[in-house]
Amino acid sequence: MLGSFVANPLLATQSRTSKGTNNSLTATSTINPSKADAPSIVARTALSLEYASLRHADHCPLGIYVVPSPENLFVWDAVLFVHQGYYAGAVLRFRLNFPSDYPDRIPTVQFVTDIFHPLIDQGGYFNLSSHFRPWKPKEHHVYNILYDIKAAFKKYRLDQIKEADAWNKEAYRYHESTSSFSALATQSSQLTRSESALFDKDHPSFAGRVTEGLGFQKLSSEKLREYRQRLGLREWADEPSEL
């Protein structure tokens, strides 16, 4: 089923686009940025350089696609495709909001997609401070944050989470019952790639969360075949099966 949808930005060629990295998407966004203190030139420059640096080797983790809003450089939308572990198959959209004095202060990360995880609260906010304590403006960068987000869904990182850092105490019980956590994480991951979660902005799991930015849209079989040919991808039926 995952082969039948694509992120909207990939298709929005007639709209304003942002040039990204190998792991970035051209995008359109309908974000209406909230009123805030006027960002400094230093902050804007820092963010521009941060995004440009993602094109360097190993700066943007595999499986993560990220793009700044064309209307607000201080809002970046992203999606993470999880391939292994308890959350294998999960399709997770999230948003980075940068403060007007970045990099002096750490950005906030909010998951648009509802997911059962110890570091993510009911509103979708991700606890970055569990890893960046303290935040060091001269040492920490956006790519560090992206790698931390991806790592948070791996077993070794889950094992390192302390109860004080867990914003979802129920999910933290993973330390007490691995089998129960595994079942809940698997179920939660399956829901993230359901048609309603991918395509329906009025889905109940989005309550109180942003619904703009990166999205997905269905493709017809003909359109999907066209894009696969354009990208040089084989049909899944032609790919060798695993032994």
Q: What is the pLDDT along the chain (243 residues), one digit of tens a residue?
A: 444 333 433 333 233 333 334 443 333 344 444 444 456 899 999 999 999 999 988 899 999 999 999 889 999 999 999 999 999 999 999 999 999 999 999 999 999 999 999 999 999 999 999 899 999 999 999 999 999 999 999 999 999 999 999 999 999 989 889 999 999 999 999 999 988 778 776 655 555 555 566 777 777 788 888 888 888 877 755 544 443
State residue 100's pLDDT score: 94
Is the residue at 241 inside a domain? no
CATH number of residue 124's parent domain: 3.10.110.10
Give the angle subtended at the CA of 59 by the CAs of 57 and 65, to the nearest 5°. 110
Is residue 109 a part of any domain in this protein? yes
Residue 243 covered by a domain: no
Which single residue is written with the structure tokens 């209406």? Answer: 32
72 within some domain: yes
In a domain, 242, yes or no: no
CB neighbourhood size of 183 (10 A)? 12
* Other Cβ atoms within 10 Å of 36 Cβ, number: 11
| 209 within some domain | yes
What is the total count of domains within the chain?
1
> What pLDDT was estimated at residue 223?
82
User: Domain of 120?
Assistant: 2-235
Taking the C-alpha atoms of residue 117 and residue 87, their distance in angstroms, rounded to an integer, is 10
Domain annotation covers residue 91: yes
